[in-house]
Amino acid sequence: MNYDEFDISADDFENLLFSVENNIAIIETNRPKALNALNNELLLELITVIELVAISADIKALIITGKGRAFIAGADISELQTIEDSFAGRDAAMTGQNIFNALAALPIPTIAAINGFALGGGLELALACDLRVASPDARMGLPEVSLGLIPGYGGTQRLPRLIGQGRALDLILTGRHVKADEALQLGLVNRVADDALTTAKEIANSIIKNSPIALGLAKESVVRGLDTSLSQGLEIEADIFGMVTTTADMKEGTAAFLEKRAADFKGS
């Protein structure tokens, strides 16, 4: 990996690994002895990389996975135990939410390759990604109530939007873990694959063949529409459709289709 574009080196990170393969950025959480639990240092490194990815013109997709037998097994409980008042607790929640919001706001496709335990904050991070691929031995859940807490990094908001209120409350109120096959049935993950990372890369490669402008605007249309009524969402879609029809990528894509050739998208 050439870090020159980012003005960083591999030594700048202690809690994650960062690489780029064929225009696909890969973040691998790297605290295997702690099952990749989210401590403050890992969160800081994570937002650093997200911000770098956001300004890179060469990165077309992002995959997040974990080293060892966990994706992310939750927040670092020892740090949570030091919270002394509600103001500090709110700040801790807002820190996690802001980082995951930055991930969700990326205009490029994002995929969580869930290779093992994705619990608490780990599942909340996966929920902030566009797509989720789980290995057969993955275990997912929001067990915060068993610790006297609630999900604080977006879980109570993103999970019901993804799988519905009743199913979300089942997971949140019981705190139970679900296996990959049930997660697939619930709509919590998009695919189950023996090698989650390899499949995530295959999905990313199939996505980035398309127009980057169209990908970003399609994502924007879905996200903005979810926060409105159907009629308002349709207006958003129409507005964005109008925008995309004026792009060079649209001219290239339609011409390539008519000429029976592969499109050469420039992202403009």
Active site amino acids:
124, 144
CA 155 to chain centre: 13
Tokens of 10: 């591999």
Angle CA 63–69–71, to nearest 5: 35
Q: How many CB atoms lie within 10 A of CB 115?
A: 25
Which class for 136: exposed (0-12), middle (13-18), buried (19 or more C-beta within 10 A)?
A: exposed
Tokens of 187: 């709509």
Contact 125, 154 (CB under 8 A): no
Sheet of strand 139-141: strand arrangement: 70-72, 117-119, 139-141, 178-179
Helix (H, G, I), strand (E, B) or coil at 223: helix
